[in-house]
Amino acid sequence: RQRFAAADIGFALQEHNLQTLDADARQAAVTQLTQAEARDAFDLSQGPLIRGRLLCLAEDEHILLVTQHHIVSDGWSVAVLIGEFNALYAAFSQQLDDPLPPLALQYADYASWRQQHLQGERLHAQVDFWKAHLDGAPALLELPSDHPRPQVQSYQGAALALQLPAPLSARLRRFSQQQGLT
């Protein structure tokens, strides 16, 4: 099932004017607002599942924070969003029209095609495959944990720097493209 918001609803954007703050207070406010944005949970039943904050540092200096729930985006779609945003921003800053072509397909078109594609013998074959493949699997999978999880998760991520040898990286990229993976 797909629900559409009204065409004129736009993108929910909170604006924060930080121009009157001195440099230290402005940096502290940027840090606090960025962390607050990262911590704010999404309500999957109500939405929206994407939101933004515009931090105005000076008349000609802004920071745009865009946060999406992982259920509506992946690395590939985020790259598309950034590319489209850059194209729209460039056109807007030069007072040009929207440069993006209309979408040839909507998600509903894809979902309809998949539903038509998975009927009859093909559907039964796939259902039979998964029933056989998962036969005997435990009803509940208890995964070990390295430490007790907190009642309230912070969702603070971490970074791990890792360098792959260039030939391995190239092979992984080719393999991913051949398999249609992100």
Encode pLDDT of 31-82 as tens digits.
999 999 999 998 888 888 889 999 999 999 999 999 999 888 888 889 999 9
Distance CA 68, CA 66 (A): 7
CA distance 11 to 84: 15
Q: What percent of the chain has pLDDT over 90?
A: 51
For residue 149, the model assigns a pLDDT of: 74
Q: Which of the residues in the chain have pLDDT under 50? A: none
Predicted local confidence at residue 7, as pLDDT: 74
- Coil, strand or helix at 15: strand
The domain locations on the chain are 13-72, 76-123
Q: In Å, what is the CA distance from 153 to each residue of 31, 40, 46, 87, 142?
A: 20, 11, 21, 36, 20
pLDDT of res. 166? 95
pLDDT of res. 170: 94
82 φ/ψ angles, rounded to the nearest 5 degrees: -65, -45
C-alpha span between 117 and 126 (Å, rounded): 12
User: Which residues are registered as beta bridge partners of 14?
Assistant: 53
